[in-house]
Structure 1
Amino acid sequence: MSMETTVAQLAHARLVAAGDREVPVPATLRYTADDPLAVYLDFPAEAALHGEEVTWTFARSLLDEGLGAPAGQGDVRIWPCGRTGTVLELHSPHGMALLLFPAPALRAFLRRTYEVVAGGEEDVTGVVERGLSALFGGV
């Protein structure tokens, strides 16, 4: 019996542009048991500023917290917007983007990640070992 170790879900994001216009942006939310504390948000090349695929990585706990109340500082901030929306604010050296997501879809994704690795049961040993290996040039 093989347990699902990766979750991927299309995210129907809308970029909040000048004049409060909303532009659909293709994006994929991704989670893997190999990096149990992180969530990935992938943007295809056609949606990215420099025409190359871009991935944002942030804490799963930040997404969880941001669905209920403003959360985060620095490059990624998340907060509820209205009754059914969630805003992700992304900061990079190139500028800032506000993305509006349907909260029910984010909640469904989050629920699926907790089915893969339950909260509090994240085994970070492999993550730490890979990080140290990368930092010190391998073993």
Structure 2
Amino acid sequence: MSSVIEQSVQARMVASAPRMETLPAMLSYDREYPFAVRMAFPAPATLEGTEVSWEFSRELLAAGVDDPAGEGDVRVRPFGYDRTVLEFHAPEGIAMVHVRTEELRRFLQRARELVPEGEEHLYLDVDRELSGLLGEDR
């Protein structure tokens, strides 16, 4: 079984224009980093022309599909019947994207099958993380 889950989703960028631009995004979850999820936007979808990715807690994403969650750089909240809004706050501004809630729930279910909630600590490699922080090779 692979230790990484990737799922392509269609995100709709919220802008001041009446139409929202649809752009591809990739959600990923790695068993080696069991508390985090990553959402990446490819270079053509960004203003800078480079891939942009955000890492945030799996718990935040799971909570935000049902109720508003987050107070920092990433915030997640339900929007209407079938969408979830993810807000990404950076010094350059705020990016808001809508994603179908069902796509997020499917991704979270796959992540739970790989690492059940509450068992994340069993998948941490503390020695590797400490070595990385100290700049040591193993």
Is the shorter-chain TM-score for this pair beyond 0.5, marking a shared fold? yes
Which residue of the other structure, out of 31, 34, 56, is the alignment partner of 2:32? Answer: 34
Which residue of the other structure, out of 13, 17, 22, is the alignment partner of 2:11? Answer: 13
Q: Which residue of 1 aligns with 2:124?
A: 125
Instruction: Return the alpha-carbon distance in structure 1 between the equivalents of residues 36 and 92 of structure 2.
Output: 23
Structure 1's unaligned 5+ residue stretches are none
- Equivalent position SS for 1:64: helix
Q: Which residue of 2 aligns with 1:90?
A: 88
Structure 2's unaligned 5+ residue stretches are none
Q: Which residue of 2 aligns with 1:99?
A: 97
TM-score w.r.t. the length of structure 1 is 0.91
Instruction: Return the alpha-carbon distance in structure 2 between the equivalents of residues 39 and 93 of structure 1.
Output: 22
Which ranges of 4 or more aligned residues in structure 1 deviate by more than 4 Å? Answer: none
Which residue of the other structure, out of 16, 19, 22, is the alignment partner of 2:20? Answer: 22
Identity %: 45
TM-score w.r.t. the length of structure 2 is 0.92
Q: Which residue of 1 aligns with 2:79?
A: 81
Go from structure 1 to structure 2 and tell me whether the alpha carbon gap of 1:82 and 1:125 turns closer, same or farther (over 3 Å shift): same
Partner amino acid, structure 1, of 2:104: L
Q: Which residue of 2 aligns with 1:69?
A: 67
